[in-house]
Structure 1
Amino acid sequence: MSGRKETVLDLAKFVNKGVQVKLDGGRQVTGTLKGYDHLLNLVLDEAIEFLRDPDDPLKTTDQTRRLGLIVCRGTAVMLVSGSDGTAEIANPFVQPDGA
């Protein structure tokens, strides 16, 4: 064993593919993963940020803004997932109104 820490997340399979990244503070971006390092710093190309709801900063809206080529600092990365094959589903735990 080399004693070197290795990341649990294997990002090699996402290089040059679309990813969704959730960042500390509620920001969410999508883009093409161009590179990463062992500290989980990510380089995203053609990045798009989903703007947050001004009334509830933890919710995102359908409004977006184009960011282009960005670096996401590893200390701010909370979640990385592939954007291919994902879909939003209704929350099964939300009670219908009037119940």
Structure 2
Amino acid sequence: MADRGRGSARGGAARGAGGGSRGGRGGAQAVSSSAADKPKREAILDLQKYMNERVRVKFTGGREVTGVLKGYDQLLNLVLDEVEELLQEPEPRTRSLGLVVLRGPTITLINPVDGFTEIENPFAEQQQ
């Protein structure tokens, strides 16, 4: 009675002998040669020229920080030092954050601070 419900109805005895040799889950699989021959993908942005330079970073949602770029990866996660967050509300001010790691998927804009001049938006409505 203890064996009732087991066996070929569930595939236990029928699969047991040859299940591993057919390349099922957990079996060793050969690496395709086309995957090994592909050249390494290059990053879209070359941030190397901005290393140890001050950069401004804007995020989805409107937050903005400036800091010295210390590192990055292929997902555009950034490490910034001497970071200051620019807060707009209730009044414009800055907040010092120190060393931070910024997640790449949340970043919308990266630009160097040197040579950057803010201009008025020509498309904004003129207030009279």
- TM-score, with length taken from structure 2: 0.65
Rounded to whole Å, the distance in 2 between the matches of 1:95 and 1:18 is: 32
Do structure 1's residue 74 and structure 2's residue 104 form an aligned pair?
Answer: yes
How far off is 1:95 after superposition? 4.3
Do structure 1's residue 48 and structure 2's residue 84 form an aligned pair?
Answer: yes
Q: Please give the root-mean-square deviation of Cα atoms over the aligned residues, in Å.
A: 1.8
What is aligned with 2:34?
A: none
What is aligned with 1:16?
A: 52
Within a 5 Å distance, the mapping from 1:21-32 to structure 2 comes to 21-32=57-68
What is aligned with 2:118?
A: 88
Q: Which has the higher helix share?
A: 2
How far off is 1:36 after superposition? 0.3
Could you say what secondary structure the match of 2:66 adopts?
strand
- TM-score, with length taken from structure 1: 0.82
User: Structure 1, residues 19-68: CA drift from partner, whole Å, max 9, x if none?
Assistant: 000112211000000000111010000000011325xxxxxx63110000
Rounded to whole Å, the distance in 2 between the matches of 1:22 and 1:96 is: 25
How far off is 1:6 after superposition? 2.1
What is aligned with 2:72?
A: 36
Aligned sequence identity (%): 51
Counting matched residue pairs gives 92
- Structure number with greater CO (CA < 8 Å, separation at least 6) is 1
Do structure 1's residue 2 and structure 2's residue 32 form an aligned pair?
Answer: no
Q: Which has the higher strand share?
A: 1
Q: Which amino acid aligns with 1:93?
A: F
